Amino acid sequence: MPTIPQRHSLTDVLSRLDLLTNWERKPRGEMRVGLDPMLDLMQRLGNPHRSFRAIHVAGTKGKGSVSALIEAALLHAGWRVGRYASPHVDRVNERISVSGRAVEDDALARALEQTLDSYEPAKREATAGEDATWFDVITAAAFLVFKDAGLDWVIVEVGLGGRLDSTNVVFGEVAVVTNIELEHTEILGSTREAIASEKVGILKPGAVLATTLPISDAAGQVLQQRADELGCRVLRTNFSDDATIADRNAALVGIVLDYLGQHGERVREGGKVGIPIGAWLLDQAVKDSARLPGRMERLAFKLPGAPNTAPRVVPVVMDGAHVPFNIEAVLRDISRSQEFDSRCVAIVALASDKDARGFLTVLSRYVAHVLFTEASGSGRFYPASELEALATSMGIACESEPDVRKALESAATMASENGGWVLVTGSLYLVGALRGVVLKSG
């Protein structure tokens, strides 16, 4: 009798995957970037990235939220939709969304195992695939999941940059560049223009580019120039300078949906079957369904009370902002809410490739006290004591507590004594380390 292949659990397969180089957790200056390993894997797997239509999303801020909003709108219109994102907050499954839900363990384990089984012969044969990284494999597995699910559309979020990112094997009929600010400068370049050149690398002949950047902006000019070279149309948003992050994201998604509707995409289910899709799909229910963990997420942390007293409830906002531009936008929007107009105590962990001084300069304008901590599981974060020394030299009231749980308890206690709130920021890894603790406290 033929032997039945043994199925391995997701935990077992992830252990096998973790033997590969994971650049997400390495100092960014050491990163290997290139598409040849990914292209080799795709060919060995039967090119699953060609089995669906794609919208490709790059940018400094808002990639995840914009991707989730497009996904939610297309699902509402009755399409079979997937979304690929990174990094995850709690579980690796979050990276691969199928019909609005994180991929099931069995489906992910099966796709990962198939991808790893294709990686092994590449290694033996010394082809380009032998250099596949952790992110290459998880990306390839995601495309297998989407192929097996028979999806119509997949919204693919860039991991880093664009031009040489593992995701750039897909053809995005719409290439979205949310915005451009300085980030990952040791990889992408030291100017906004250089970074724009990398991010617009997701644009391909026959596609359309959608962006918030005006042509008067230096980075916007780079995008336009590349679009002109490829003969691609450019769609641009129009909003006021004081628009919120949510408003800007919705405006960008709106022009993408309008474009698709104008080019034949129609509602497939419900009472509006046959009507062209468009920005009108972005009702409150769709916006609410697109909310992501760790992106301006509002929670509450319950501090244990003294004997015979009720626990103290402290408002908590979690956002993985990690560059000055991001945290400025987040804090500006939060400050508009009366609920958060009181004393803020921030818990911060920052990767060592980030502009710590710039980040703290912004933070100092909004928060009363900062607790610096360290996100475990990654070797590329500033020591909490080093950030404390920098902040102290800048006149910022602060302290360091490397243990994230102790930092949360201290920050929450400090905030509760002054009627304030806690901000957890600087890294999605930090958000992931504390989000479950906050949720379980309730």
Question: Is the model's pLDDT at 87 over the cut of 90?
Answer: no
Question: Is the model's pLDDT at 67 over the cut of 60?
Answer: yes
The residues spanned by each domain of the chain are: 10-289, 297-441
User: What does the pLDDT read at residue 18?
Assistant: 87
Q: Evaluate if pTM is beyond 0.75.
A: yes
User: What does the pLDDT read at residue 3?
Assistant: 45
Eight-state DSSP code of residue 320: -
Write the burial class of residue 436 (CB in 10 Å: 0-12 exposed, 13-18 middle, 19+ buried).
exposed
Write the burial class of residue 19 (CB in 10 Å: 0-12 exposed, 13-18 middle, 19+ buried).
exposed
Tokens of 177: 């560049």
Write the burial class of residue 135 (CB in 10 Å: 0-12 exposed, 13-18 middle, 19+ buried).
buried
Least confident of 311-325, 336-350, 373-387: 373-387
Question: Is the model's pLDDT at 227 over the cut of 50?
Answer: yes
Least confident of 126-140, 169-183, 247-261, 369-383: 369-383
What is the chain's mean pLDDT, rounded? Answer: 91
**Once rounded to an integer, what is the mean pLDDT over residues 176-204?**
83
At the top level of CATH, which class does the domain 10-289 belong to?
A: alpha beta
Per-residue pLDDT reduced to its tens digit, 411-429:
999 999 888 999 999 998 8
Alpha carbon distance 305, 394 (integer Å): 35
At the top level of CATH, which class does the domain 297-441 belong to?
A: alpha beta
**Once rounded to an integer, what is the mean pLDDT over residues 20-31?**
58
Smallest Cα–Cα separation from 166: which of 322, 63, 42? 42
Q: Contact at 8 Å (CB) between 96 and 84?
A: yes
**In which residue are the tokens 């451009």 written?**
180
Question: Is the model's pLDDT at 103 over the cut of 90?
Answer: yes
* pLDDT, greater one: 65 or 187: 65
